Amino acid sequence: MSRRFASVVLVFPLLALLLLVSDSPYPALPGPKRDAPRAIVALGDSTMAGEGAGSYEPGTDGENGNWCHRSTKASVHYTRVAGVDKVFNLACSGANSEQVGITDQVRNTEGSQARQLAAIAREYRVSVVVVAVGANDDPRFADVLGACLRAWIERRADCAKAMADEWKARVERMTPKVERALRDVRRVLQDEGYTPRSYTLVLQSYAAPVAPGLPFDLQNLAGCPLRTGDLEWVRDRAVEQLSEGLRTAAKAAEARFLDLAKAGEKREACMGGEKADREWFTRLTVDFDGLRDEARARHALQESFHPNDRGYEQFGRCMSEFLATTAREASCVAGSDGNLDAVVAKD
């Protein structure tokens, strides 16, 4: 008997044994059991949580110190993926890259979003993970807008000038932190038995919430109290450079990338004038009832200059289009009908 024939003879009993100890003649899919419901999971900060859209999930609107402001109108709830009907939103306003990744850090009473993802991945088959994070790391975008607001109040012209000198360096320090968070997401899914091809990981960037050209009578505390030069810098420099840093992080972590930098063009806060319902972002928003409560007072402006429910619906629409493709990268741009489309980047 030849050596090759003897090897074949030995293989057959081994295959028979594998079939006896397995419930199926086919290899098991990674992750949870075969018939587990499929899910999409959102991770990140306020832009993914749904800050500004209202309709916040119970327990995330200041209860016991939790200000995550996860909205039932967040973009992930407008994102459609074939075969997926379960949505989990783990994003939290104020979250940074460390909180998205594997960490013992606690913010807004909540811990690592990656670890929360791991628990979901055991029970559900996670098909898509969408992430929006980075602005609360070194860029501290909300603080920058706050500084520009103070510059308008104090009639100073140094906001954009001061920020421009260090903004690029801030973004460069942020980039590896976002990459690390994305790698942590991959790590927890790998630990739960997922392969990189069994799910899709997408990092999205941020849309400019304000822009120059708004009506003069709204360039004040009634709407958008920011100097024209600062509005130009936010739209043309800050958001664009932030997107470039996030694109670099996505590429390094082998994640797909959806660029929202121009997603709100002509729909920014205050651009609609008297027709505020045409805007996709909140204007300066003050929770006056919250000002009467010491515990809530410091969150009274939290919703300002975030997307509103119309904006999130459009972001979800664009993400849906992007996920329906196999492209590694795309940008959200308004089409002729005014809705956002995912325009695939050309190689």
For residue 156, what pLDDT is reported? Answer: 82
Structure-token pair, residue 58:
């119970």
Query: What's the topology of domain 31-344?
Result: Rossmann fold (3.40.50)
- The pTM score is 0.90
pLDDT of 23 strictly over 60? no
Residues composing the chain: 347
The least confident of 80-94, 110-124, 140-154 is 140-154
In this structure, the strands spanning 86-89 and 38-44 are: parallel
State how far the alpha carbon of 79 is from the alpha carbons of 87, 146, 152, 268, 324, in Å: 9, 31, 37, 21, 11
The least confident of 25-39, 150-164, 331-345 is 25-39
For residue 19, what pLDDT is reported? Answer: 37
pLDDT tens-digit profile of 320-330? 999 999 999 99
The least confident of 19-23, 26-30, 244-248 is 19-23
pLDDT tens-digit profile of 241-293? 999 999 999 999 999 999 999 999 999 999 999 999 999 999 999 988 888 88
pLDDT tens-digit profile of 54-97? 999 999 999 999 999 999 999 999 999 999 989 999 999 999 99
pLDDT of 24 strictly over 60? no
Q: Where are the alpha helices (DSSP H) in 54-133?
A: 97-100, 113-123
For residue 92, what pLDDT is reported? Answer: 98
3-state secondary structure of 174: helix
Question: What letter would DSSP give residue 139?
Answer: T
Q: Which residue has the higher pLDDT, 18 or 43?
A: 43
Q: Which residue has the higher pLDDT, 260 or 8?
A: 260
User: Mean pLDDT, to the nearest integer, of 182-202?
Assistant: 97
pLDDT of 18 strictly over 80? no
Q: Within 10 A of 141 (CB to CB), how many other CB atoms are there?
A: 23
For residue 85, what pLDDT is reported? Answer: 86
Domain boundaries, the chain: 31-344
User: Mean pLDDT, to the nearest integer, of 28-53?
Assistant: 90
Per 3-state DSSP, what percentage of the chain is helix, strand, and coil (rounded to 5)? 45, 15, 45
For residue 34, what pLDDT is reported? Answer: 82
For residue 347, what pLDDT is reported? Answer: 61
